Amino acid sequence: MVSAIGQGMLWAILGLGIFMTFRILDFPDMTTEGSFPLGGAVAVVAIRGGFSPLVATIFGVLAGMLAGLATGLLYTKGKIPILLSGILVMTSANSVMLFVMKGANLDLLNFPKLQDGFDFLNLPKDFNTILLGILILTLIILLLLLFFDTRLGQAYIATGDNEIMARSLGIHTNHMKLLGLAMSNGIIALSGALICQNDGYANINKGVGVIVIGLASIVIGELVFGELTMSERLLAIVIGSVLYQLLILLVIKIGFDTNYLKIFNAMILAICLMIPKLCRKLKLNVDRWAK
């Protein structure tokens, strides 16, 4: 359970990154499935190359930001639909990872990891991951809240709320999209770098299906807590991610074959997306019956 909570916190970073585009800019960014493993691959290669885990993680974040920027340029300058732009970059990231890692898989056996920096505290097993997750999530949430409170952040939110009105107010909406995609994929790559270090290896297929995990964190958080302020929504994503990982743990404990976890992931997301609509429909039927 402690391990699942730690994993949930690291996956919550992915959810925060997806939130930047999926909820605020209101479009799906498939770059996620490329920037996530790319961040991990770059971080692992950098660590094996002699860089400190912190510097290596920063390299991973920068790689993710470049992937997001590439998607943004294809979308804003190349006029390619956002979904297709993300798929193109996601596909290209696979080749970039093969070039960087010189193979499909790369381990961190006997190499330092970021969570090892807490070894001096002599915490129980897996508590290092939880502490690392708390520190990084706190930093990211504070930085996002500070960003949203600036004029630039308000322009970014306005772009997602009503692009036409934002343009009429003199906001360069294409610049906001570029900024959002770069920031979003940088955060997503950070999650990938941390999870690869926690797992002890990087793999080019590590990004398959991660967008479902991130969306599940967002949707579960919204489903549990309902209407929230911006700060509460960010915290709800963290809680949703932890709940999701605990749910996965429960499913594994009752004997579900882990080879089929991805279909279970998709089923959870589909159910969570349908519940609000089913509840509204049920309420309408009840109100009609009452009248």
List the beta bridge partners of residue 106. 202
CA angle, residues 54, 62, 179, in degrees to nearest 5: 130
**Domains in the chain: how many in total?**
1
Kindly state whether residue 88 falls inside one of the protein's structural domains: yes
Q: What pLDDT does residue 58 have?
A: 95
141 C-beta neighbours (distance < 10 Å), count: 18
Mean pLDDT of 121-150: 90
Binned at pLDDT 50, 70 and 90, residue 289 comes out as low
Q: How far apart are CA 5 and CA 13, in angstroms?
A: 13
Kindly state whether residue 267 falls inside one of the protein's structural domains: no
- The answer on pLDDT for 219 being more than 90 is no
Q: Which is more confidently placed, 177 or 277? A: 177
Kindly state whether residue 27 falls inside one of the protein's structural domains: yes
Kindly state whether residue 96 falls inside one of the protein's structural domains: yes
Mean pLDDT of 203-222: 86
Structural domain boundaries, residue 197: 2-208
